[in-house]
Amino acid sequence: MNIGDAAKCASLPAKTIRYYEDIGLIQPDRGLNGYRDFSENDLHKLRFLGQARSLGFSIEDCRSLLELYEDKARASADVKQIAEGHLEKIDAKIAELQGMRQTLAHLVKACAGDNRPDCPILADLATARGGNA
């Protein structure tokens, strides 16, 4: 199967598939003409990677998960450890977003939103914090 057909079957852009090949996540066969020839196993890996990426796993986590998936002697504890680590990152991001939301909601509430130039939103954005200015 060529890359266009593989992209349709795996619901991934061809560019993503080429990237996965470049970084060694998949290794499709090559025909005598040099074109990629994707097998059912390659499609399965592409779908696996697409699902893992849709859950936000990093490329390196995907690499580890794919290796574990292919290792029939794997310990599920190894898989769980990767998933728990990712879940912790998600929880940290959620907490960060909730903090951002609270700050912005407070600023929006404090802004009169009228014709006066005073604006607590702009005043807060102009305040340097932690060297991020």
pLDDT digits (tens, 9 = 90+) for 40-86: 999 999 999 999 999 999 999 999 999 999 999 999 999 999 999 99
Asked whether residue 71 is assigned to any structural domain, the reply reads no
Which comes out higher in pLDDT, residue 133 or 56? Answer: 56
Read off the pLDDT of residues 10-34 as tens digits, 9 standing for 90 and up. 999 999 999 999 999 999 999 899 8
Asked whether residue 7 is assigned to any structural domain, the reply reads yes
Asked whether residue 43 is assigned to any structural domain, the reply reads yes
Residues 6+ apart with CB under 8 A from 27: 21
Burial class (CB in 10 A: 0-12, 13-18, 19+), 47: middle
Q: What is the CATH number of the domain that holds 51?
A: 1.10.1660.10
Domain count, the chain: 1
User: What's the pLDDT score for residue 130?
Assistant: 57
User: What's the pLDDT score for residue 133?
Assistant: 42
Asked whether residue 79 is assigned to any structural domain, the reply reads no
Instruction: Report the alpha-carbon distance of residue 45 to residue 8 in Å, rounded.
Output: 14
Predicted structure pTM score: 0.80
**Which run of H or of E encompasses 63?**
helix 59-70
Asked whether residue 80 is assigned to any structural domain, the reply reads no
Asked whether residue 87 is assigned to any structural domain, the reply reads no
Domain assignment of residue 40, given as a range: 1-57
Asked whether residue 33 is assigned to any structural domain, the reply reads yes
